[in-house]
Amino acid sequence: MGAIRTPRGSWVEEGMRALARGGPAAVRVEVLAQALGVTKGGFYGYFANREALLAEMLDTWEHHVAEAVIEEVEGGGGDARSRLVRLFAIASAASGPVGGTEAELAVRDWARTDEAVAERLRRVDNRRMAYLRSLFGAICADPDEVEVRCLLAFSLRIGNRLIAADHDGRSRADVLELTGRWLLR
């Protein structure tokens, strides 16, 4: 009976975990194999080299945080307001090695030192902002206000976990709920 092969996605997820812990330098085949409890030989059945893994990690991240989210929101139907509510819920629940805040921040940090990653991040952010504009534009006629709402919503998605402030007797969940209602007014 042959050995069970570690799935390709496991290498990508473990790579994303390593990226979140220590940046791209931490994404090393030997370390990933050890974390997965396998030998590194299985890695080369899927990837030509470490650079191929890094590229697939970015492809997976991009799909997960942009296209898959948009597909999920659109798949639920409804008007722009109900799709925004669904988008906010999906974004606030995002977790895991690919779609969570740690992965988001790790890719953003990586983009500071790698121009190709910065270009990819710009493409992803532009796709997300374009989608937000399409939804907010359907409930708000003022293009300046649409842009402000988009930037605020997007900034909250990226920066919420970085803010340690108290909220004058309110919980963070309460303030996020209020913010969502304000953005949808």
pTM of this prediction exceeds 0.85: yes
**Does the pLDDT at position 50 exceed 80?**
yes
C-alpha to C-alpha distance for 98 and 77, rounded to whole angstroms: 25
> Confidence class of residue 1 from pLDDT cuts 50, 70 and 90?
very low
C-alpha to C-alpha distance for 68 and 108, rounded to whole angstroms: 19
Question: Residues 52, 15: contact at Cβ < 8 Å?
Answer: no
What are the CA-CA distances from residue 10 to residues 7, 50, 97, 127 (Å)? 5, 15, 10, 27
C-alpha to C-alpha distance for 57 and 51, rounded to whole angstroms: 10
> Confidence class of residue 4 from pLDDT cuts 50, 70 and 90?
low
pLDDT digits (tens, 9 = 90+) for 57-81: 999 999 999 999 999 999 999 999 9
C-alpha to C-alpha distance for 46 and 41, rounded to whole angstroms: 10
CATH of domain 55-183: 1.10.357
C-alpha to C-alpha distance for 9 and 56, rounded to whole angstroms: 10
